[in-house]
Every structure is written in C-alpha cells, then in structure tokens.
Amino acid sequence: MSGRRSDPRAVFFLLAAVVSALLVPVLPHEPHKPSLDWVGWTLCVAFVVLAVLSWLDHRSRLRR
C-alpha cells in the first residue's frame, strides 16, 4: 500500500479488531458470573465494520 492510497484510519481500526479478537481467549470465566467474551467479539466486529466503512470513504475521496 502506498502512503497516499492507504487509509491510516482503516488500518488502525483493523488492528484494533485483531487485538480485540486475540484477547478473547485470555478473558477468564468466573463461576456465577456472566462471561465477558461478548465484549471482545463485539469490539472485533464493530472495528471491522468501521475499517471497511473508513476504507470505502477513503477510496471515494481518492476518486473525487
């Protein structure tokens, strides 16, 4: 990816998504308490969506 063509915001969001997903297995499971795995997966999905939207936005700006 060249400096002009890459979208730093999309890259950052994608990195955040990967880190969020990688940390899910580290989350402990406590008896009598709800699992917090959903937090990691929600962050992962949301950041992937943001990365895609950000990249699309960046691409449309480049075309203009």
Partner 1 sequence: MALTLVVVVVAIALIFDFVNGFHDAANSIATVVATRVLKPWQAVLWAAFFNFVSFLVLPLEVANAIAKIVSTDVISIGLVFAGLAGAIFWNVLTAWMGLPSSSSHALIGGMIGAGIAKAGGHVVNLVTLKKTGVFIIYSPLIGLLLAFGLLVLVMWLVHRIRAKRRVNRTFRGLQLLSAAAFSLGHGANDAQKTMGIIAALLIGAKHLDKHVLDHPDSLPLWIVLSCHGAIALGTMMGGWRIVRTMGTKLTKLEPMGGVCAETAAAATLFFASHNGIPVSTTHTITGAIVGVGSAQRMSAVRWNVARRVVWAWVLTIPGSAVVAMATYWVVEVLR
Alpha helix positions (H), the chain: 8-23, 37-63
Within 3-62, the residues that bind partner 1 by CB under 8 A are: 8-9, 12, 16, 19-20, 23, 26-28, 30, 33, 36, 39-40, 43, 46-47, 50
Distance of alpha carbon 48 from the chain centroid: 4
List the end-to-end C-alpha distance of the chain, in Å, as a whole number.
Answer: 19
Nearer to partner 1, 9 or 63 (CB): 9
Identity of residue 46: A
* Residue ranges binding partner 1 (CB under 8 A): 8-9, 12, 16, 19-20, 23, 26-28, 30, 33, 36, 39-40, 43, 46-47, 50
